[in-house]
Amino acid sequence: MKYLKIFPPSLAIILIGLSSVFFSAQANAECGKVVIASQNWASAELMAEVDKVILENGYGCEVELIPGSTMPTFTSMDEKGAPDMNPEQWANAVYTPLIKAVDEGRLVIANKAPIGGLGEGWWITPGTIELHPEIKGMTAVEILEHPEWFPDKEDPSKGAFHGCPAGWGCQLVNANLFRAFDMEKKGWVLVDPGSAAGLDGSIAKAAESGNPWLGYYWNPTSIVGKYDLQPVPWGVDFIGRDHWDNCIVKPEQECADPKPSAWTHSEVNSIITAEFAERGGSDIVSYIGARTYPGTVMNGMLVWMGDNQAGGSDAAIEFLNNHEDVWSTWVSSSVVDKIKSAL
Amino acid sequence: MERTDLMELKKAIDLGFRLFSRKYGDAIESFFDPLLFFLVRLEKLLLATPWPIIILVVAILAWLGSRSWKLVAGSAVAFMLIGYFGMWEDTMATVAIITVCTILCIAVGIPIGVLMSKSDRTEKTILPILDMMQTIPSFVYLVPILMLLGIGKVPGLIAVCIYALPPVVRLTNLGIREVDKETLEACDSYGATPFQKLTTVQIPLSLPTIFAGVNQTIMMALAMVVIASMIGVKGLGVPILRAISNQYLALGLMNGLAIVALAIIFDRITQQYGKRMQKHRGIQQK
């Protein structure tokens, strides 16, 4: 008897629940459920959260974020067709399999450059420019003639060039470029900062005290934004994939004669599964294609996240509130209104 | 605490420290310059000296410390193996930083230990600080050290010393406190001044204990070599870090064993020396 008494109201609740699912499914017919990979670093988190807000409010999707990381996320998308989208896929890490997956129609590169001003390379602190104004506009090749501008703490007669911590891929590249540019003879030492914290710390220390600093870093990062690091143009061309892949990225003993080269082009894509490209429709695909964060805006957001120790979801709201000029160009005006009313 | 308040507090602490390091960072850095100079010189000296001489010096030290042929032969063979496996330069860099760190810890630690043994109140204030220095995770103080001094040898040395200093302080304190009461009474009755009592009776009698502290300090300094390498100190820690991030088993094992070899050599020499001191003074080991 007890069950019978309870049955009608619970049935009603289930019916209401079902109908609401039904109706919302009706409303979202053009999009449905979307699973987006939220990778475990700040810029990827931010992009995933912004996509979530825009797709949910602008296009009526139902978005679920799942944690991810470069290789596992790619493998899962390639093999299983899920998640539906990775907003920030570093392409160099998955170069060959990505091309294959695109050729075979499993994945679609929806945006070839979602973040502007991207890349690895050599940077200087603003303090360097203050002390030696003539450095402005100089290329790496020219700067390397002036080791005296970057005195090494332990041997002030030499110039300090900060490479990568031991064990990072870029450590080999920097060591080989160090030899390629003949830097030892020019009076440089290659400083091994020991760890990510060491590299960041050496930049923070130099930038805080206005000292000169030359070394490796990459963009987009909060360090570049926070300390306003200036990229150094190379002054030489990229040597070509062949020499880069077979010599520059190899250990010293496998690269007897490295040649001077600019850093290889780093490529970040937004990739989606072919199935989602079809299901989502042209509106959503063109939104993803148009969605490019200018480098300075991205760095500004990363600094804001660091300063406020904020996660991706807070940062997405902050971004949508303060950078309407950026994101309003990604979507149609009716979608802009929908998102603004939702904020 | 409210979430926003907590965040404000964290930000305020960060900002406060940043202002501090901006204002005093250079001054503090130049305060440590002599140390850097000494460290760089020592490393250059060790590297410039031909290896047979270094091995000879190690062997002589081993003999002076232990009077044991076994230890002398063992040390010489260990160093030769280190050289044979191509770890000589890193080992010399490590020896340099360990040496300077030990000297620094002795110079700072023994006076603090003496002060602690003189007054119970000082002991009570310093003991918790020592506890903290030994237990706080080193990554926590690496951040402020990096902000203040950047990367390199001196910040690495300080990080090592923070961890390695407590044993020598503790055991100096303990050694002096354990000196026989009747001996001290005899001193007093002969009219020795407190300074005479300290330098001619208390410290000499507690030397074996103090030496055990020095031994522990060296061991702890060696244990910190890898951490120090994370902030740009050259030495055996660098290849170990490389081995960790690339999963190079052999590289990590070889350099790890080199650290172990150094540790055993230092440990045996100092321990034997401490024991011989006790024998010489006719004190039975407890």
Question: How far B40 CA lies from chain A's nearest CA (Å)?
Answer: 7
Q: Which of A80, A79, A77 is nearest to A108 (CA)?
A: A77
**CA of A198: which chain B residue's CA is closest?**
B231
**Closest CB from A195, A201, A308 relative to B150:** A201
Q: What gap in Å lies between CA A244 and CA A266, rounded to an integer?
A: 13
Chain B neighbours among A 32-61 (CB < 8 Å)? Answer: none
Token duo for residue A205 = 């220390």
CATH number of the domain at A28-117+267-342, out of 3.40.190.10, 3.30.499.10, 3.30.70.20, 3.40.50.150? 3.40.190.10
Averaged pLDDT for residues A290-309: 89
Contact between residue A108 and residue A274 where contact means Cβ atoms under 8 Å apart: yes
Contact between residue B220 and residue B167 where contact means Cβ atoms under 8 Å apart: yes
Q: Do A201 and B22 touch (CB under 8 A)?
A: no
Mean pLDDT across chain A, nearest whole number? 86
Q: Do A166 and B22 touch (CB under 8 A)?
A: no
Q: What gap in Å lies between CA B164 and CA B263, rounded to an integer?
A: 14
Start-end of CATH 3.40.190.100 domains in chain A: 119-254
> What is the per-residue pLDDT across B11-27, written as a single tens digit (0 to 9) for each?
888 888 888 888 888 88
SS (HEC) of A156-209: CCCEEEECCCCCCHHHHHHHHHHHHCCHHHHCEEEECCCCHHHHHHHHHHHHHC
* pLDDT greater than 80 at residue A30: no
Q: Is B63 exposed, middle or buried (0-12, 13-18, 19+ CB in 10 A)?
A: middle
**Closest CB from A166, A167, A193 relative to B151:** A193
* pLDDT greater than 80 at residue B35: yes
Task: Reduce the DSSP state of residue A136 to 3 states and report it.
Answer: coil
Question: How far B122 CA lies from chain A's nearest CA (Å)?
Answer: 35
Token duo for residue A54 = 């825009």
Averaged pLDDT for residues B53-75: 91
- Residue A104 sits at φ, ψ, to 5 deg, of -90, 5
CB pairs under 8 A between A and B: 91
Contact between residue A115 and residue A159 where contact means Cβ atoms under 8 Å apart: no
**Closest CB from B40, B142, B238 relative to A154:** B40
B4 has a chain A CB within 8 A of its CB: no
B21 CB neighbours in chain A (<8 A) are: 205, 208-209
Q: Specify the pLDDT at position A233.
A: 92
Q: Under the phi-then-psi rule, with left for phi > 0, alpha for psi from -120 to 50, and beta for the rest, what region is A210?
A: left
Between B228 and A12, residue with greater pLDDT: B228
Q: Do A166 and B245 touch (CB under 8 A)?
A: yes
* pLDDT greater than 60 at residue B286: no
Q: Specify the pLDDT at position A63.
A: 93
Q: Specify the pLDDT at position B80.
A: 94
Q: What gap in Å lies between CA B55 and CA B62, rounded to an integer?
A: 10
Give the residue carrying structure tokens 């130049």. Answer: B30
Point out which residues pair with A272 in neighbouring strands: A85, A108
**Closest CB from B22, B230, B242 relative to A208:** B22
Testing the interface with A: which of B151, B225, B226 to mutate, by most A Cβ within 10 A?
B151
Q: Do B146 and A205 touch (CB under 8 A)?
A: yes
**CA of B23: which chain A residue's CA is closest?**
A209
Q: Specify the pLDDT at position A6.
A: 41
Token duo for residue B246 = 């690339």
* pLDDT greater than 70 at residue A48: yes
The percent of residues in chain A predicted with pLDDT above 70, rounded, is 91
Q: Under the phi-then-psi rule, with left for phi > 0, alpha for psi from -120 to 50, and beta for the rest, what region is B100?
A: alpha
Q: Specify the pLDDT at position B281.
A: 61
Q: Do B143 and A307 touch (CB under 8 A)?
A: no
Averaged pLDDT for residues B108-127: 93
* Residue count of chain A: 343
> What is the per-residue pLDDT across B79-88, written as a single tens digit (0 to 9) for each?
999 999 999 9
> What is the per-residue pLDDT across B239-280, written as a single tens digit (0 to 9) for each?
888 887 777 889 899 999 999 999 999 988 888 888 887 766
Averaged pLDDT for residues A112-129: 90
Q: Specify the pLDDT at position B280.
A: 60
Compute how many other C-beta atoms are within 10 angstroms of the C-beta atom of residue B260: 12
Our measurement of the distance from residue B103's CA atom to the centroid of its chain's CA atoms, rounded to an integer in Å, reads 7
Mean pLDDT across chain B, nearest whole number? 88
Q: What gap in Å lies between CA A314 and CA A309, rounded to an integer?
A: 10
* pLDDT greater than 70 at residue A5: no
At the topology level of CATH, where does B32-280 sit? Answer: MetI-like fold (1.10.3720)
A205 has a chain B CB within 8 A of its CB: yes
Q: Specify the pLDDT at position A301.
A: 92
Q: What gap in Å lies between CA A140 and CA B239, rounded to an integer?
A: 29
Q: Specify the pLDDT at position A191.
A: 92
**Sheet of A188-191, strand order:** A188-191, A159-162, A214-219, A119-124, A230-231
Testing the interface with B: which of A150, A168, A209, A308 to mutate, by most B Cβ within 10 A?
A209
Indicate the pLDDT class of residue A290, thresholds 50, 70 and 90: very high
Between A110 and A13, residue with greater pLDDT: A110
B232 CB neighbours in chain A (<8 A) are: 191-194, 198, 202
Domain A119-254 in CATH 3.30.830.10: no
C-alpha pair distances (Å), A170 with each of A167, A229, B144, B199, B205: 8, 19, 26, 56, 56
For chain B, what are the domain ranges? 1-30, 32-280
Q: Specify the pLDDT at position B236.
A: 92
Start-end of CATH 3.40.190.10 domains in chain A: 28-117+267-342
Averaged pLDDT for residues A56-73: 88
Q: Which region among A157-171, B91-105, B119-133 has the lowest average model confidence (pLDDT)?
A: A157-171
B158 has a chain A CB within 8 A of its CB: no
Question: How far B26 CA lies from chain A's nearest CA (Å)?
Answer: 8
Q: What gap in Å lies between CA B91 and CA B221, rounded to an integer?
A: 14
B11 has a chain A CB within 8 A of its CB: yes
* pLDDT greater than 70 at residue A1: no
Q: Specify the pLDDT at position B104.
A: 93
Question: How far A157 CA lies from chain B's nearest CA (Å)?
Answer: 13
> What is the per-residue pLDDT across A158-172, written as a single tens digit (0 to 9) for each?
999 999 887 777 888
Q: What gap in Å lies between CA A82 and CA A73, rounded to an integer?
A: 8
**CA of B12: which chain A residue's CA is closest?**
A307
B106 has a chain A CB within 8 A of its CB: no
Chain A neighbours among B 41-100 (CB < 8 Å)? Answer: none
B170 has a chain A CB within 8 A of its CB: no
B26 CB neighbours in chain A (<8 A) are: 209
> What is the per-residue pLDDT across B153-185, written as a single tens digit (0 to 9) for each?
888 999 999 999 999 999 999 999 998 889 889
Between A230 and B285, residue with greater pLDDT: A230
Q: Which long-range contacts (CB under 8 A, 24 or more apart) does A326-331 make?
A: A326/A293, A326/A294, A326/A297, A327/A50, A327/A54, A327/A291, A329/A290, A330/A54, A330/A287, A330/A290, A330/A291, A330/A292, A331/A54, A331/A58, A331/A287, A331/A290
**Closest CB from A154, A193, A307 relative to B36:** A154
